[in-house]
Amino acid sequence: MTARRAVMSLYTPGRDRDRIATAEDALARLAGPGRSLPLPLQLVIARKAP
């Protein structure tokens, strides 16, 4: 999963695009080849695509 997909999969209502881009950049720096970045999930909701 790319950093962009990981950040965009989070529910972040009301966040501006610049702040989301900053989060994508930070995550991309932290997660690289051979590294893992576990994300604790409390709730996952799957929705069927239209």
Mean per-residue pLDDT over the chain, rounded: 80
The DSSP-derived string for 1-50 is --HHHHHHTS--TT--HHHHHHHHHHHHHH--TT-------S--------
pTM: 0.58
Assign 41 a pLDDT band (cuts: 50, 70, 90): low
Domain count, the chain: 1
Token pair for residue 33? 């080849």
Question: Structural domain of residue 4, as residue ranges?
Answer: 1-50
